[in-house]
């Protein structure tokens, strides 16, 4: 339990310190394949735990940001809270009954700095038994409500819907329409018994089609005929499995706390694999693209990205690594430092801030500030262990190989011990080699 608490404190509270210092108060992601965002459903607003501020349910991150900045409280693993509104209301009431420190750990941030620069944060997480029980009860309650809703839809005989592809009307049960689209149009969104909130699901899909958007690749087309031809020829009559917007329409996503359908399915597949021999003959590795430190350029290999940064931005990461003798963790901190400065439109060479990344890039290329790194103590800080972007593939490709370093850097920390010649004569007299020489002489 103590190790778990320490892990959460170091992870969550470390991020909280970054928030307070640099005001990056939401998860950041580098450009990748288009997808949807999760939409919260529930009461119109959620109050702050400590004050009277209210935020819409759909803007949960703004409430979390408010609580971090104004009240210095961090809630761990928010994504694992089944009903965020009820969770907040519960602790809002409990905090009026007992001191907050009875429930939250108090963590001091930046403890090595002068006292006036140190800050205390409150951490609320499921290491506390009461919090874990609350989260489990909220999960059970949500699952119960979902199963009741699903059962009601399964028994409903008043359903009325229109096919999205041929405009044929269907009355009775929702399964009639879903089976029709699967059979006649090869559009299968799953078995009817696995779907919940079916009307809302169909309305969401219809709205995308009305906006001339492909349901799978989510590209937008100029007219309906072009869209229909595209979806038919590309076999895109299916939904995008990476779009998290659809997760709330499938019962499987409510079964286990903190697990999506992909994780549940992966566990089921793993059980099957445990009973089979390992066969990697059909393995195909899909390379993950890494993004340039200074622009939106992506490359499938780290070598191509290094060449791009050197040619386009005169930034040679391998040379910097060699000259400074950086190990893996120091490279991580340097990359995260540069990522944060570029995200904040600030030149790390002269500390001037710009209104856009484009202006910053022009400035850094004209002044050649891309290669002008600040003093090591500026970026070699613990806070830069935390990635600026959650999906930064570049961090996974950094090398810790000593072969990349020059021979001088490789040997600069190896002590050289001079030979002790004071007893060289005595060593010669007592050497076992003398016996071998004597034996060879007698033989001859």
Question: What is the per-residue pLDDT across 158-190, written as a single tens digit (0 to 9) for each?
Answer: 999 999 888 899 999 998 999 899 888 888 887
d(CA 64, CA 55) in angstroms, rounded, equals: 10
Please check whether residue 94 is in contact with residue 103, taking contact to mean a CB–CB distance below 8 angstroms.
yes
What local confidence, expressed as pLDDT, does residue 400 receive? 65
Please check whether residue 123 is in contact with residue 105, taking contact to mean a CB–CB distance below 8 angstroms.
yes
For 131, list phi and psi in degrees, rounded to 5: -70, -40
Percent of the chain with pLDDT over 70: 73
* Average pLDDT for 61-84: 91
With CA atoms as reference, report the closest residue to 368 among 347, 345, 395, 344.
Answer: 347
429: pLDDT strictly greater than 90: no
Residue 17 per-residue DSSP state: H
* Average pLDDT for 420-438: 60
With CA atoms as reference, report the closest residue to 24 among 289, 381, 358, 345.
Answer: 345
300: pLDDT strictly greater than 90: no
Q: What is the greatest pairwise CA distance in the chain?
A: 114
pLDDT category at 200 given cuts 50, 70, 90 is very high
Residue with tokens 């995008």: 240
Q: How do residues 106-117 score in pLDDT, each as one tens digit?
A: 888 777 778 777
With CA atoms as reference, report the closest residue to 242 among 30, 392, 36, 27.
Answer: 36
290 strand-pairing partners: 299
What local confidence, expressed as pLDDT, does residue 436 receive? 60
Q: Residue 59: CB partners within 8 Å, gap ≥ 6? A: none
d(CA 290, CA 396) in angstroms, rounded, equals: 9
Higher pLDDT, residue 388 or 92: 92
Q: Residue 284: CB partners within 8 Å, gap ≥ 6? A: none
Q: How do residues 398-418 score in pLDDT, each as one tens digit?
A: 876 544 444 344 444 445 444
How many C-beta atoms surround the C-beta of residue 210 within 10 A?
A: 10
d(CA 297, CA 308) in angstroms, rounded, equals: 8
- Rg for the chain (alpha carbons), in Å? 31
What local confidence, expressed as pLDDT, does residue 80 receive? 84
Q: Residue 442: CB partners within 8 Å, gap ≥ 6? A: none
Residue 347 per-residue DSSP state: -
What local confidence, expressed as pLDDT, does residue 43 receive? 47
d(CA 41, CA 57) in angstroms, rounded, equals: 7
Percent of the chain with pLDDT over 90: 33
d(CA 73, CA 69) in angstroms, rounded, equals: 8
Token pair of 17 as six digits: 């310190």
d(CA 258, CA 253) in angstroms, rounded, equals: 9
What local confidence, expressed as pLDDT, does residue 109 receive? 79
Q: How do residues 254-287 score in pLDDT, each as one tens digit?
A: 877 666 656 666 665 566 666 555 565 565 655 5
Q: Residue 76: CB partners within 8 Å, gap ≥ 6? A: 8, 12, 123, 124, 125, 126
Token pair of 432 as six digits: 């076992």
What local confidence, expressed as pLDDT, does residue 187 receive? 87
């Amino acid at each position: 339990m103590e190790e778990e608490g320490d892990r959460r404190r170091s992870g969550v509270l470390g991020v909280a310190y970054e928030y307070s210092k640099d005001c990056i108060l939401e998860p950041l992601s580098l450009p990748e394949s288009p997808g949807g965002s999760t939409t919260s459903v529930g009461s119109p607003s959620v109050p702050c735990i400590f004050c009277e501020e209210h935020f819409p349910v759909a803007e949960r991150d703004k409430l979390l940001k408010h609580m971090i900045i104004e009240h210095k409280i961090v809630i761990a693993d928010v994504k694992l809270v089944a009903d965020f509104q009820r969770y907040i209301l519960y602790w809002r009431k409990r905090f009026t009954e007992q001191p907050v420190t009875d429930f939250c750990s108090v963590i001091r941030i930046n403890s090595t700095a002068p006292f006036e620069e140190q800050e205390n944060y409150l951490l609320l997480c499921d290491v506390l038994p009461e919090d874990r029980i609350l989260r489990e009860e909220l999960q059970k309650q949500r699952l119960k409500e979902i199963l009741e809703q699903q059962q009601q839809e399964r028994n409903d005989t008043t359903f009325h819907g229109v096919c999205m592809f041929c405009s044929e009307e269907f009355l009775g049960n929702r399964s009639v329409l879903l089976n029709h689209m699967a059979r006649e149009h090869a559009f299968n969104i799953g078995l009817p018994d696995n779907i919940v909130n079916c009307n809302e699901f169909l309305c969401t899909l219809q709205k995308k089609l009305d906006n001339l958007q492909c349901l799978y690749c989510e590209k937008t087309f100029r007219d309906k005929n072009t869209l229909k031809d595209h979806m038919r020829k590309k076999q895109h009559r299916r939904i995008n499995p990476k779009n998290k917007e659809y997760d709330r329409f499938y019962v499987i996503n409510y079964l286990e706390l903190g697990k999506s359908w992909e994780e549940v399915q992966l566990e089921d597949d793993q059980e099957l694999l445990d009973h089979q021999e390992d066969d990697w003959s059909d393995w195909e590795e899909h390379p993950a693209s890494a993004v340039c430190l200074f622009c939106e350029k992506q490359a499938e290999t780290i070598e191509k990205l290094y060449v791009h940064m050197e040619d386009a931005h005169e930034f040679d990461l391998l040379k910097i690594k060699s000259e400074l003798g950086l190990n893996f963790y120091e490279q991580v901190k340097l990359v995260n430092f540069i990522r944060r400065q570029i995200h904040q439109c600030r030149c790390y060479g002269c500390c001037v801030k710009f209104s856009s990344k484009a202006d910053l890039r022009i400035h850094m290329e004209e002044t050649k500030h891309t290669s002008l790194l600040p003093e090591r103590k500026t970026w070699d800080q613990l806070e830069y262990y935390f990635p600026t972007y959650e999906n930064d593939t570049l961090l996974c490709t950094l090398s810790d190989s000593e072969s990349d370093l020059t021979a001088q850097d490789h040997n600069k920390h190896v002590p050289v011990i001079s030979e002790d010649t004071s007893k060289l004569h005595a060593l010669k007299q007592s050497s076992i080699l003398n016996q071998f020489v004597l034996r060879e002489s007698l033989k001859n």
